[in-house]
Amino acid sequence: MLHVIFFEPRIAGNTGNAIRLSACTGSMLHLVEPLCFEMEDSKLRRAGLDYHDLAHVKVHPNLEDALADIPGSIWAFTGQAETFHTDIQYADGDGLLFGPEPTGLPEEVMSHPRVTSRVRIPMLPGVRSLNLANSASIGLYEAWRQLGFNAAI
């Protein structure tokens, strides 16, 4: 199983989309508190459609608790990296770590001893960032592709 970690997410709709992503890929979504919305938020429920019961979601009180749940490497997604997300070898059990909207991951999180490396999704110069749920989708599908889309039909 692959793991997606949202560190202190702020926009309910992005998390709702990630819940759908979890359901469609069989990945585990880890949400690190504080969350800037309630899990019953209508925007979160709407974005997740009727996939909430099919998704694997855990809410953690802090980053340490979330990382303890992930057996593999931790890949921190940031615009502050040279390595593309397609240039690494993912393994079953890896975690893809994403920061909050609109600031991204703080330096102390990216420097955590469990973080294997920083990676980035290529973008044209002069733009700030991709949407959080879109970034998670891009990263997760590349990792899942490398694993042969295991369990997909």
Question: Structural domain boundaries of the chain?
Answer: 3-146
The CA distance from 25 to 51, in Å, is 12
- pLDDT for position 73: 98
Protein fold of 3-146:
Alpha/beta knot (3.40.1280)
Hey, what long-range contacts does 99-102 have (CB within 8 A, 24 or more apart)? Answer: 99/7, 99/8, 100/6, 100/7, 100/8, 100/9, 100/10, 100/36, 100/132, 101/9, 101/10, 101/11, 101/14, 101/132, 102/10, 102/128, 102/129
The CA distance from 152 to 43, in Å, is 28
Tens of pLDDT along the chain (153 residues) come to 999 999 999 988 899 889 989 989 999 999 999 987 777 656 555 544 456 567 789 999 999 999 999 999 999 999 989 999 999 999 999 999 999 988 999 999 999 999 999 999 999 998 888 999 999 999 999 999 999 998 776
